[in-house]
Amino acid sequence: MKKLTRKHFLVGAGSVLAAGAAGFGVKQAFFSSTSETIPRNPLYVPPVIDGTTFNLTLAESSKQFFSGAKTSTYSYNGESFWGPTLRWKKGETVSLNVTNNLNEMTTTHWHGIHLPASADGGPHQMIDVGETWSPPKFEVKNEAATYWYHPHMHETTQKQLTMGAGGFIIIEDDSEASKALPSEYGVDDFPIVFTSRRFETTNAFDVSKDTAYGDYLLANGVLNPEVTLPAQLVRFRILNAETERFYNLGFADDRKFYVVGTDGGLLNKPAEVTRVRIVPGERYEIVIDLSDEKVGSSFDMKAFNENMPFGAGGSEQAQAGNFGSLLNNTTFSLLHIKVGKATSGGVKTLPSALATASMWSKSDAGNSRTLNITDDGPGTPFKFDGNSFDHNTINQTIKLGAIEAWTIQNDKIFGHAFHIHDVQFSIISRSTGEVAEHEKGWKDTFGILPEETVTFVAKFEDYASKTEPYMYHCHMSNHEDGGLMGQFLVVD
């Protein structure tokens, strides 16, 4: 079994050492000269909850990452990190109950889900300590895809996400079920949340608002993860849940793979790629073909983050400090993959057609809006059009049923991950080049680099309220907590 070594050293004295061939870093803190090995660990697959009534309890937990003290975490339903996967079916009506057993207020937001604003779980639907929030029941209207849930408490979202709170939502529908795609959960169909953490000397997570990046990569809360996959087609449902870091995802041998789904549904046809950029809050479903692989062979999924463009999260050169990390501007392992025997009836051929979505175009839009990401100078919070988030200010009002084109213009300081609640949209243009084939599906989150402009089109349908707003914001949680967020009403 391959082991990675972390060296304990004095970062404060200016020493920075790399630890391990797979790119895992060392604690950014003061340590003795001892060392500890990090073995490869089996990828954890969250348990699934099926049905139409879903009960979640967010509470403190703990997980053994390193020798010595366990790391305090937040999790749902008693997991050591993260939470169970909720599996919904399109057309069914779901009932949700969330109990807050933390010692602080929280919310739980259903990221990417089209639902009434009163059930959205944004900053307005706060859950007090010891209380249970039961939003109005709603019909599942989303296409089959990978979504997620997480805290959305203004000014503490970064902390609560860093502590480990979150979970997947997988929506299924008849259309997807009719396609020959890998779909056996935990066998040939894996949800994976990638993120990273910086640890204190006590093994506690560093939850400082000034910490943008971690030094240790986690997959489903596992250090140095590995998984054995059957020699057939395998689907990964990948979520980036970093604070700021982008991933330029691919494989060590530069093999081709296929994007089959975006944030909100299947692509009309698979998009063949060797790299996919994925930003905080964004999801991609990919399929790799292991049919011709030798049983017992192995390879790595990697983040090819060396020499990313300026403004991409994690492109900084610094290895220490607020915006430093031993993973910054490096290529590092995300997941070690071993090939096992094929399963009986495993999928061996990828369908050439997946969906028949008619994406919105600019000509469909009856109204246009432009949002500018601004700041007041180096070190100041990012804003939309010069305005920081205010609970009592409605920034946009939209007519029910409207199809609108939104243009997001970024300043020259840093990249962002734009996310909007309630709707899925189609990206129609990027000022830096053509929209990539793998982005030509339903989206709720996208990356935008410095001085880039992105336009998308969405339809605001089904739900209206004169008092309950939805949010739009940067999904870099420190930017969001700092005020890069606005809210909109959909009115009849």
CA distance 183 to 343: 12
How many CA within 13 A on the CB side of residue 39?
A: 4
338 and 377 share one domain: no
- Same domain for 468 and 328, yes or no, is no
Q: What was the pLDDT predicted at 376?
A: 86
Q: Is residue 18 part of a domain?
A: no
- The reported pLDDT for the residue numbered 377 is 79
Q: Is residue 272's pLDDT more than 50? A: yes
- End-of-domain residue from the set 303, 329, 354: 354
* C-beta neighbour count of 295 within 10 angstroms: 13
Q: Is residue 34 part of a domain?
A: no
Distance separating the N- and C-terminal Cα atoms of the chain: 61
Distance CA 375, CA 457 (A): 26
Q: What is the pLDDT of residue 277?
A: 98
What is the pLDDT at residue 2?
37
Q: Where are the beta strands (DSSP E) in 144-264?
A: 145-150, 167-172, 189-197, 216-219, 222-223, 225-230, 233-240, 247-251, 257-262
Q: Which CA distances in Å does 345 have to 183, 234, 293? A: 12, 13, 17
Percent of the chain with pLDDT over 90: 91
Please tell me whether residues 331 and 400 are part of one structural domain: no
* Average pLDDT over every residue of 444-470: 98
Same domain, 290 and 390: no
Residue 261 tokens, joined = 């789904």
Residue 33 confidence (pLDDT) above 70:
no
**Whole-number Å distance between alpha carbons of 105 and 101:** 9
State the average pLDDT over residues 119-140.
98
Per residue in 133-156, pLDDT (tens digit) is: 999 999 999 999 999 999 999 999
Residue 369, pLDDT score: 98
Rounded CA Rg of the chain: 21
Q: Is residue 435 part of a domain?
A: yes
- Tell me which residue of 8, 73, 80 sits closest to 37, measured CA to CA: 8
Domain holding 338: CATH number?
2.60.40.420
Q: Classify residue 33: in a domain, yes or no.
A: no
Please state, rounded to an integer, the average pLDDT across all residues of the chain: 92
Residues 373-415 have pLDDT tens digits of 999 877 889 999 999 999 999 999 999 999 999 999 999 999 9
Q: What one-letter code names the amino acid at 436?
A: A
313 and 208 in one domain?
yes
Please report whether residue 325 resides in a domain: yes
Between 194 and 376, the more confident residue is 194
**Based on the number of CB atoms within 10 Å of its own CB, is 27 exposed (0-12), middle (13-18) or buried (19 or more)?**
buried
Q: Domain end: 354, 378, 404, which one?
A: 354
What band does 36 get if pLDDT is binned at 50, 70 and 90? low
Indicate if 261 and 377 belong to the same structural domain.
no
pLDDT digits (tens, 9 = 90+) for 250-265: 999 999 999 999 999 9
Range of the domain at 480: 362-491
CB 149 within 8 A of CB 107: no
pLDDT of residue 379: 81
Mean pLDDT value of segment 334-363: 96
What mean pLDDT comes out for the span 152-169?
98
Q: Does 328 share its domain with 423?
A: no
64 and 188 belong to one structural domain: yes
pLDDT tens digits, one per residue of 289-320: 999 999 999 999 999 999 999 999 999 999 99
pLDDT of residue 392: 96
Average pLDDT over residues 362-372: 97
Angle at the Cα of 445 (from 439 to 450), degrees rounded to 5? 85
Residue 35 inside a domain? The answer is no
Residues 73-101: tens digit of each pLDDT = 999 999 999 999 999 999 999 999 999 99
Domain assignment of residue 10, yes or no: no
pLDDT at residue 35 tops 80: no
Element housing 366 (H / E): none
Would you say residue 9 has pLDDT above 80? no
With a cut of 80, say whether residue 12 has pLDDT above it.
Answer: no
Q: Are residues 373 and 232 in the same domain?
A: no
Q: Is residue 140 part of a domain?
A: yes
Q: Is the Cβ–Cβ distance between 40 and 67 less than 8 Å?
A: no
Q: For residues 306 and 434, state if they share a domain.
A: no
Tell whether 142 and 232 lie within a shared domain. Answer: yes
Which residue, of 329, 354, 379, is where some domain finishes? 354
**How many domains is the chain partitioned into structurally?**
2
pLDDT band at 28 (very low <50, low <70, confident <90, very high): very low
Q: Are residue 102 and residue 165 in the same domain, yes or no? A: yes
Whether the predicted pLDDT of 462 surpasses 50: yes
